[in-house]
Amino acid sequence: MSTVLDAPPSAPSERLQATMTAVRLSFTWFGTRKTLSQEQKAEAADAFGADGPFLSAGKKLLDTRNPRFRLVTSVRSQAISYWKSVSLPYPEPGLRLLPHAGIQPFADRMTHYRENLRQAVRVLESSLPELRAQARERLGRLYNPADYPESLTGEFDLTWEFPSIEPPDYLKQLAPELYERECQRVRGRFEEAVALAEQAFLEEFAKLVTHLTERLSGDDDGQPKVFRDSAVENLRGFFDRFRQLNVRSNDQLETLVQQTQDILEGNPARALRQHDTLRERVARRLTGVQAALDGMLVDRPRRSILRPGRVTEGG
């Protein structure tokens, strides 16, 4: 027979704490800019009749517009985008919350990105002599060979970890009162995380609905505005993330998400482009959703103030 102690967590913050783990994504990244030396700043200041200590100046070591360098930065962008898409914000810099079931898929995807990064760096490595030669030509007397590594191996890397954000168990015996205070602090953090997740979902959803509604109902010189498939597909992607990460903290938001799913069900972007009547009907229904979301966004600051310990910004 189940007891109260066996009951699953009921509060959103408790569910979040029971089903999520913290995850941090870190990068080692070669710095492409460097501050000028004191002598160089003094020389630059003299050219402008300025006081050296009041001048801030730097130099660009590599051309970051180079396609091979952009390939490297693209991998970083992809990894960060994925990290954010499968996790929720947490009110500590650099940390996000990942569902327990997503730990292995996350690690597998990051391993894939790390290998892609290493391959991209190897390609960039082959261009290093050319990039240094270009820098020597462009920087003139500011060029310094010592600013550049002999090899890019180890200059770029991607790592991830799952740090514990729970109070350590040894505190139970060593300092019970401190342990309880730490438990309370962590509970407060998860309450903040619920508010952050709700705010992030609300803002993203409102932006996507507003964009699609504007595309469907607006016109250019009397002709319906053209909209891309992404205007619909981005919303469908949001539905998937909301279903996977939703902490069930806002019944009104859940109702609006379901309502929008029902509106778009069976109405692909192609049909919306080809049938004006369908387009107008969907636009009218989405306008109601948009108005409700606008009202929730306006009401948001007041609700945050009424919730002790909650914040509206975070990782």
Q: State residue 10's pLDDT score.
A: 72
Q: State residue 9's pLDDT score.
A: 63
110 or 314, which is more confident: 110
What does the alpha-carbon distance between residue 88 and residue 196 come to, in Å, rounded to a whole number? 8
Q: Spell out the domain ranges in the chain.
A: 10-37+52-161, 170-305
182-211 CB burial, b ≥16 within 10 A, e <16: eeeeeeebbbbbbbbbbbbbbeebbebbbe
204 or 41, which is more confident: 204
Most confident of 57-66, 142-151, 195-204, 260-269: 195-204
pTM of the full structure: 0.84
Q: State residue 275's pLDDT score.
A: 84
299: Cα within 13 Å, side-chain hemisphere: 10
Average pLDDT value over all residues in the chain: 87
Strand partners, 35: 58
Is-contact 264 307, C-beta < 8 A?
Answer: no
Residues 115-164: pLDDT tens digits?
A: 999 999 999 999 999 999 999 999 898 888 999 999 998 999 999 999 99
Q: How far is CA 117 from CA 73, 95, 103, 154, 225, in A?
A: 9, 22, 21, 11, 40
What does the alpha-carbon distance between residue 295 and residue 306 come to, in Å, rounded to a whole number? 17
What does the alpha-carbon distance between residue 190 and residue 96 come to, in Å, rounded to a whole number? 11
The distance from CA 293 to its chain's CA centroid, rounded to whole angstroms, is: 22
219 or 140, which is more confident: 140
Residues 183-193: pLDDT tens digits?
A: 999 999 999 99
